[in-house]
Amino acid sequence: MPFQFGWFSTGRDLAARQLLQAVWERIKDGFIPAEMTFVFCDRERGEAAQSDLFLDLAAELGLETITFSSRRFKPELRKKDREQWRAEYHRGVMERIASHNNALLVLAGYMLIVSPEMCQRHPLINLHPALPGGPTGAWEEVIDELMRERADTTGAMMHLVTPELDRGAVVAYSSFPIQGGAFTPFWKGGPEKRGPLFWLIRQEGVRREIPLIILTLKAVAEGRIRIKDGRVMGGKGKELQGLVLTQEVEEYLKDLR
């Protein structure tokens, strides 16, 4: 039986669809020796145009889709007690995925913070658009912080999901410079907020997120990385601080040219 995993996304933008499509294609051509058993989305049809497109794509790919609207689930409780709401919502999520015995759940553009109970009951990894120890939050917040810091380098990582936002053990990561080369003109004189530099960093980040998630899943499916008891282990049983995939990601991108 191939390595099995489930896919979680809010499906809020083009990048969410690109990630799903790219991973599905690399499973189908055998590059990732695994099976995506379902796609979970916390939006239902009719809530947003972008998530409708995401659900359309999942259907076109022949993937089983599970939807459960976070927006419509107990909105008054969400306003009153966010932590209690999160716990109850994710109990509902776990009930809906209970028939799938997956080795791993992959969060790729899933915009909710997962409840502590779900973190404890299921092995989850998350795609985060920053390097280990870097800015937390959504990709917009990450890039804003990188620009404020005038950072030299950024990247993306796959990490274990824990109650502490974006701070779980690192599974794998890759980096790229954002000073020099094509970035130089946009830093001179102070970068414009949400201007060309912002979108250039986003563009280069998304280009690398796709191969990073593909190569991470390949490494996990092949046993180069193992997740056990909240730790990330190498194939020989040694604990890792994250598999560095920078070179493999850049080579992957060259092969696409």
Contact 40, 68 (CB under 8 A): yes
d(CA 140, CA 163) in angstroms, rounded, equals 21
- Which CATH code, of 3.40.50.20, 3.40.50.170, 3.40.50.720, 3.40.50.300, is assigned to 3-256? 3.40.50.170
d(CA 148, CA 142) in angstroms, rounded, equals 10
Strands in 153-160's sheet, in edge-to-edge order, are 65-67, 34-41, 3-9, 104-107, 124-128, 153-160, 170-177, 243-244
Residue 5 burial (CB count, 10 A):
24
d(CA 218, CA 2) in angstroms, rounded, equals 12
Torsion of CA 178, 26, 67, 15, to 10 degrees: 20
Instruction: Provide the residue-wise pLDDT of the chain in tens; the chain has 257 residues.
Output: 789 999 999 999 998 999 999 999 999 999 999 999 999 999 999 999 999 999 999 999 999 999 999 999 999 999 999 999 999 999 999 999 999 988 899 999 899 999 999 998 999 999 899 999 999 888 999 999 999 999 999 999 999 998 776 678 999 999 999 999 989 888 876 666 788 899 999 999 989 999 999 999 999 999 999 888 788 988 777 888 899 999 999 999 998 76
Task: Look up residue 151 and give its two tokens.
Answer: 């950072």
User: What is the distance between the terminal CA atoms of the chain, rounded to a whole angstrom?
Assistant: 34
State phi, psi for 178 to the nearest 5 degrees: -120, 20
The full set of domain ranges for the chain reads 3-256
If DSSP codes are grouped into helix, strand and coil, which group holds residue 36? strand
d(CA 226, CA 44) in angstroms, rounded, equals 33
Contact 243, 171 (CB under 8 A): yes
Contact 31, 215 (CB under 8 A): no
Residue 157's region, left for phi above 0, alpha for psi from -120 to 50, else beta, is: beta
